[in-house]
């Protein structure tokens, strides 16, 4: 136990930490349509509690909050949602544990992503047992029905020109075929975004508290160079005439593309900091990069180019490698 964990904690801080965590966990159970978005904060919240109070004390606070939340969800009869929340809290703990071990951000992100995704898969399998239709199949069916209803609406509308209707029919028909194929990548992308969000903000909180972190500044984060070969292999597999392999490779390639977008954004952050770009202009630039489709493509290209060209010039030179 370190000095931070040994110091006497103010009773007010203890109650505040436990109640804050409990409230954020239970609010989605009270009104999902209003507070469901709070789930994305749970890994960050778990990380922040452990960072502030230390592993030993922080775990006690989180376990207490989890027990209080469990009692609430038992009362309202919605254990599914509690399990969903518990997975995110566990992911925050895994992220902090990796942070404490001073592992690279790529390794920490992989562990956090694996925790959430494996938890989701386990819950999906568990709640599918004994049911004729799985929640995943219901999701696909709901999306298919929504697309069909949208198509019927446009077909029955007099305000849609024949040319526009033909384009909409083609687009929506393609969506009905493509969405079921890439749904794993869509769900995985949500997990990746939650992981990235909690890591970046968690690192910022740690930097403000400690003045420095084991992960360093986000602008210096980089993926392993050899990971690009996985992308190349996946790209080749997508072109092979093997349906099952193509679907797996396509979904994995989409997720890997998002990861390289994160690296592209890190390059942008690096130069924004280096050139001291004003905060307002910087914020506008980030929003345009993230929101616009073209901006996403630029981030992907920059992220991949950084592997080969070392755009930030932060990789050790060959001489340094030889000396080591």
Cα(208)–Cα(227) distance, integer angstroms: 31
Same domain, 242 and 282: yes
Residue 171 forms part of a structural domain? no
> Which distant-in-sequence residues (6+ apart) come within 8 Å of 171 by Cβ?
none
Q: Pick the residue with more confidence: 12 or 283?
A: 283
Inter-residue contact 48 to 93 (CB < 8 Å): no
pLDDT band at 9 (very low <50, low <70, confident <90, very high): low
pLDDT of 137: 87
Do both 24 and 111 map to the same domain?
yes
- Residue 313 has a CB neighbour count (10 Å cut-off) of 8
Give the up-direction half-sphere exposure of residue 30: CA atoms within 13 A in the CB hemisphere.
Answer: 11
Q: Are residues 222 and 209 in the same domain?
A: no
* Same domain for 228 and 207: no
pLDDT tens digits for range 28-69: 999 988 999 999 999 999 999 999 989 998 999 999 999 999
pLDDT of residue 1: 47
Residues 100 and 229 in one domain: no
**145 domain-assigned:** no
Single pTM value for the model: 0.90
143 inside domain: no
pLDDT in tens, 82-127: 998 999 999 999 999 999 999 999 999 999 999 999 999 998 888 7
Judged against a pLDDT cut of 80, whether residue 81 lies above it is answered with yes
Give the model confidence (pLDDT) of 183-216 as tens digits. Answer: 999 999 999 999 999 999 999 999 998 888 889 9
Structural domain includes residue 237: yes
- Whether residue 262 sits in one domain with residue 207: no
State which of 216, 234, 266 marks the end of a domain.
216
Which residues are CB-contacts of 184 (< 8 A; sequence separation ≥ 6)? 251
Total domain count for the chain? 2
Judge if 31 and 72 occupy the same domain.
Answer: yes
DSSP letters spanning 263-284:
HHHHHHHHHHHHTT--HHHHHH
Q: Is it the case that residue 17 has pLDDT exceeding 90? A: no
So what's the pLDDT on residue 131? 74
Q: Categorize the per-residue pLDDT at 7 as very low, low, confident or very high, splitting at 50, 70 and 90.
A: very low
* 101 plus 231 within the same structural domain: no
Expressed in angstroms, the distance from the first to the final Cα of the chain is 34
Based on the fold, state whether residues 248 and 126 are members of the same structural domain.
no
The predicted-structure confidence for 242-283, as pLDDT tens digits, reads as follows 999 999 999 999 999 999 999 999 999 999 999 999 989 998
Range of the domain at 301: 217-319
Are 118 and 240 members of one domain? no
Q: How far is it, in rounded angstroms, from Cα 71 to Cα 85?
A: 14
Q: Is residue 136 part of a domain?
A: no
The confidence score (pLDDT) of residue 321 equals 47
Together in a domain, 67 and 199: yes
Residue 317 has pLDDT above 70, yes or no: no
Residue 168 falls inside a structural domain: no
Q: Is residue 201 packed enough to be buried (19+ CB in 10 Å), middle (13-18) or exposed (0-12)? A: middle
In a domain, 296, yes or no: yes
CA–CA distances in Å: residue 43 to residues 37, 47, 116, 256, 258:
13, 6, 10, 22, 20
- Report the pLDDT value the prediction gives residue 154, as an integer from 0 to 100: 85
Domain membership flag for residue 68: yes
pLDDT band at 320; cut points 50, 70, 90 = very low
The whole-angstrom separation of Cα 286 and Cα 80 is 36
Same domain, 200 and 306: no
* Residue-wise pLDDT tens digits, 111-167: 999 999 999 999 888 878 777 778 888 889 999 999 999 889 888 888 888 888 899
Position 83 scores a pLDDT of 92
């Amino acid at each position: 136990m370190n000095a931070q964990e040994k110091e006497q904690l103010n009773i007010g801080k203890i109650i505040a930490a436990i109640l804050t965590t409990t409230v954020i966990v239970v609010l989605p159970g009270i009104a999902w349509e209003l507070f469901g978005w709070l789930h994305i904060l749970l890994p960050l919240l778990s990380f922040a509690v452990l960072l502030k109070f230390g592993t030993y004390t922080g775990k006690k606070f989180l376990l207490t909050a989890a027990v209080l939340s469990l009692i609430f969800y038992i009362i309202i009869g919605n254990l599914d949602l509690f399990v969903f929340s518990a997975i995110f809290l566990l992911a925050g703990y895994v992220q902090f544990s990796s942070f404490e071990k001073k592992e690279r951000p790529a390794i920490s992100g992989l562990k956090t992503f694996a925790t959430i995704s494996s938890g989701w898969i386990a819950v999906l399998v568990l709640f599918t047992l004994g049911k004729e239709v799985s929640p995943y199949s219901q999701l696909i069916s709901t999306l298919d029905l929504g697309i069909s209803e949208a198509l019927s609406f446009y077909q029955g509308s007099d305000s849609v020109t024949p040319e526009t209707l033909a384009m909409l029919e083609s687009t929506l028909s393609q969506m009905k075929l493509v969405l079921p194929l890439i749904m794993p990548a869509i769900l995985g992308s949500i997990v990746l975004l939650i992981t990235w969000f909690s890591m970046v903000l968690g690192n910022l909180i740690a930097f403000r508290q400690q003045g420095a972190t084991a992960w360093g500044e986000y602008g210096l984060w980089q993926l392993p160079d050899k990971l690009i070969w996985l992308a190349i292999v996946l790209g080749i597999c997508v072109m092979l005439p093997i349906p099952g392999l193509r679907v797996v490779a396509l979904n994995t390639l989409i997720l890997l593309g998002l990861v390289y977008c994160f690296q592209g954004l890190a390059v942008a952050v690096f130069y924004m900091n280096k050139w001291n770009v004003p905060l307002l202009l910087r914020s506008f630039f980030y929003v345009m990069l993230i929101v616009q489709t073209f901006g996403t493509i630029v981030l992907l290209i920059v992220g991949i180019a950084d592997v080969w060209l070392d755009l930030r010039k932060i990789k050790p030179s060959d001489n340094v490698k030889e000396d080591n």
